[in-house]
Structure 1
Amino acid sequence: MDLLPPKPAQVATAASNVAHKLLYGGLADLRPMPRTLIDDGELREVYHYRPAAKATESGDPVLLVTPLAAPAICFDLRRGCSLVEHFVTQGRPTYLVEYGEVSFKNRSLGMEHWVDEVVPEAIKTVSEHAGGRPVHLVGWSLGGIFALLSAADQPNLPIGSITVVGSPIDVRKVPLMAPVRPLLNLNFTEGGGLVTRGYQAMGGIPKPLVNWAFQMSSVQKLITKPLAVATHLDDTEFLAQLEAVDRFSANMIAYPGRTFGQLYHRMVKGNALAKGSMTFGDRTIQFSAIKAPVLVFGGATDGIAPVKAVKAVVPLLTGSTEVRFEIVPGGHLGMLTGRAARTSTWPVMDEWIDQWSTPAAKKKSPAAKKPAAKKKAADREAIGANPHRRYGSAGSRSLGR
């Protein structure tokens, strides 16, 4: 529906959408995919998604790695736009690691907790639960950084491949940080800067501030949202996606104090990851130690993790079996679970996981049986060669190692 006189069919659809929104609570199908808790620990919950009714679960397992502060529904946004649903209905063994609610008592936990314990333990649990198979990691945002650091620190973990979605490595290439960068090194008191004193006093960054920061990262969309809704009243899919994103942004989780301090001082101020390493105590973890193949996604309109900030990891992965970079449509969340992701990001993931699955798993993989997979070997080697993808090979890099 646009600003021109609407057609009768548009009016009818718009009226139906408004009625559903007002009378039935909304248009989006927000039912979560059924899952079972298989392991837990301090800020660690590992879930196995139950196989779909008409799907036979087989092949190597996929482990979805949640970022800090964001709710795990990033992977299961709504029916029809759920990466979990996509994998489960294909018959892939699908798992998730999330962290639960962060409270003041967790303020002393640093990034080491996730890099040393949470992610490695989740990988081992999933591999064992799936019969000893290698695990294919899919990490979004900070979850991708956790996956990379864990794989670099423990190269012998049973990892089949790593997929990194929208993970900013070179923070200096994030335009959103440019206005505040001159303030980062200011010291207002002997006890440290205002930001440092603030998160130390609060024991971290509480949920309301995290929610506000996420909304401010897309302030332009926030301002234009009423007009967008008014001009899309007849677009059920658009309105349903908007509802799902609103629920996502309303369910942010707090940052533990020490972890936020490390992110702030080392990644934001020091830009440590751009050098390919992170130091914890007396050890330094190098991205070059990663052996597993790595697929990296950058979102074409991602303001939080722009393409250049994400792509910076590619030359650092010198020890990886293979590294591939792909530009896909969408912003920070949209590239993972937006409407366009269904025909761009997800098919690339399917190809990548099939490529690096064990031989027995390849034969059983539902994705491998699709017509799109029956291409020449030369085409399969080029990640941008899928003719059904929004973005072609011009936006891709394939680096054979």
Structure 2
Amino acid sequence: MTAEQQPEGRTQDEPRGPLPALAGLAGVPAHSAAEAWGNVRDWVTRGHLADTRRMPRLPIHLGDGYTVHRYEPTAPVDPDLAPLLLVPPLGAPDFAFDLRRGASLVEDLLGTDREIFIVTYDATGRAAGRRGLELWVDEIVPAALYAIADRHGDTPVHLAGWSLGGLFTLLAAASKVSGAPIRSVTAFASPVDVSAVPLVAPFRSVAEYTGGRVFSAAYRTLGSFPATAVKWAFQLTSVERYLTKPVTLATHLDDRELLEQIEAVDLLMDNMTAYPGRAFGQIYHHVVRSNDLAQDELRLAGRPVRLADVDVPVLLIAGADDVIAPVASVERATELLTASPDLRFVVRPGGHLGVLAGRRARENSWRDLERFLAAHDGA
């Protein structure tokens, strides 16, 4: 079995990465010159530094606009460990969970002998723009859960999502329409209270002044929130880091892991996708403009979907340096998830992506997830 192909237009051997922007080795300490030259040599000869091959996986269920994949185990599967379904957000590629070798949550989880699955979405086509949040909450996530449970004697399945994917997992557990077999929910960097997100404040002010008409007209005309705009939004959250990137690279040529991480993150940014128009409209009106989630007043398909109705164990993980989902915006959920029998909230090093796939995630948020899953593997 071979690993899946890289995202379209990208192969492992294509010249790519941070090093073309560097003029030389100025600023590298003398004792690290050998490591720096070795990194430059490898980039010149191989065209890349990071190993961004994806962990092998196969589709097990094909739905209308989505696919459920099973990652190929790297060790014998322990039947006493309940399966885990990963839920990516809209806009960002699903390989955020499998960023690169050495910084892949999927790779790490497979090493624990647990079966790992992921649901992916088709963000293209005319139908995609008409898909609303209720489709993910009431249909896609539940259908993926049932497909996995059917393979495991109808056992409930662990759920883990990142960013908006984390909100999908929480809302799927809150919705009682499908009766999906959920064992636990983990949400990485999922903002519940957008009033605690400084970057959103200007958009909320414009929405309040215009009654929401400006942004509504924009996404209805375009049919979606463009991929380029999604990429800019992510980059805006770390504009200082992007401005100082050339200096960082020039002074850290000897730090192989840092160079690999930057290269892998750049690849992720280059593969952002558009937000479906209807889903983006709902996020804008109900989350950004009205902050319904923070008040536990969100309505989907004409009915309330309340976090207070989540009755499974929940782990909330916030990034200490996250400006997209600041700690306070994630922590707000702890006041709403009143029916959860085991509610845990932790703050770990990293930004919005870093808390999921950063260089410090292995010893922090990944271990939190591992312990949480193990605590709820029983019936």
Whether the TM-score (by the shorter chain) exceeds 0.5 is yes
Provide the rounded CA distance (Å) in 1 between the counterparts of 2:366 and 2:28: 37
Letter in 2 for 1:254: A
Letter in 2 for 1:105: A
Aligned 8 A contact 1:51 1:57 in 2? no
Is 1:208 paired with 2:231?
no
What is the Cα deviation at residue 57 of structure 1? Answer: 4.3
Secondary structure class of the residue paired with 1:252? coil
Residue 56 of structure 1: aligned partner: 77
Point out 4+ residue stretches in structure 1 off by more than 6 angstroms: 2-5
Provide the rounded CA distance (Å) in 2 between the counterparts of 1:210 and 1:95: 25
Query: Equivalent of 1:165, from 185, 188, 193?
Result: 188
How many residues are treated as equivalent by the alignment? 354
Summarize deviations over 1:123-178 as a string: whole Å, max 9, x none: 11111123322211111110111111111112842111111110000000001122
Provide the rounded CA distance (Å) in 1 between the counterparts of 2:307 and 2:215: 29
Is 1:348 paired with 2:368?
yes
Q: Which moved more, 1:126-135 or 1:194-203?
A: 126-135
Residue 294 of structure 1: aligned partner: 314
Summarize deviations over 1:335-392 as a string: whole Å, max 9, x none: 0011100000011111100001116xxxxxxxxxxxxxxxxxxxxxxxxxxxxxxxxx
What is the Cα deviation at residue 4 of structure 1? Answer: 6.2
What is the Cα deviation at residue 40 of structure 1? Answer: 1.6
Q: TM-score, normalised by structure 2?
A: 0.89
Letter in 1 for 2:168: F
Identity of matched residues, %: 43
Q: TM-score, normalised by structure 1?
A: 0.85
Residue 213 of structure 2: aligned partner: 193
Q: Which moved more, 1:239-248 or 1:129-138?
A: 129-138
Aligned 8 A contact 1:103 1:254 in 2? no
Residue 24 of structure 1: aligned partner: 46
Secondary structure class of the residue paired with 2:85? strand
Letter in 2 for 1:89: G
Provide the rounded CA distance (Å) in 1 between the counterparts of 2:139 and 2:179: 15
Provide the rounded CA distance (Å) in 2 between the counterparts of 1:206 and 1:253: 7
Summarize deviations over 1:5-29 as a string: whole Å, max 9, x none: 7224x11111111122233121111
Q: Which moved more, 1:87-96 or 1:279-288?
A: 279-288
Query: Equivalent of 1:270, from 283, 290, 301?
Result: 290
Provide the rounded CA distance (Å) in 1 between the counterparts of 2:152 and 2:105: 19
What is the Cα deviation at residue 210 of structure 1? Answer: 1.3
Secondary structure class of the residue paired with 1:263? helix
Q: Unpaired runs of 5+ in structure 1?
A: 360-401
Alignment root-mean-square deviation, CA: 1.8
Provide the rounded CA distance (Å) in 1 between the counterparts of 2:204 and 2:284: 11
Secondary structure class of the residue paired with 1:184? helix
What is the Cα deviation at residue 105 of structure 1? Answer: 3.2
Provide the rounded CA distance (Å) in 2 between the counterparts of 1:175 and 1:5: 36
Provide the rounded CA distance (Å) in 2 between the counterparts of 1:113 and 1:286: 16
The structure-2 alpha-carbon separation of the partners of 1:215 and 1:5, relative to structure 1 and needing over 3 Å to count, comes to closer
1:128-167 maps to which residues of 2 (within 5 A)? Answer: 128-154=150-176, 156-167=179-190
Is 1:306 paired with 2:326?
yes
What is the Cα deviation at residue 180 of structure 1? Answer: 3.5
The structure-2 alpha-carbon separation of the partners of 1:88 and 1:110, relative to structure 1 and needing over 3 Å to count, comes to same
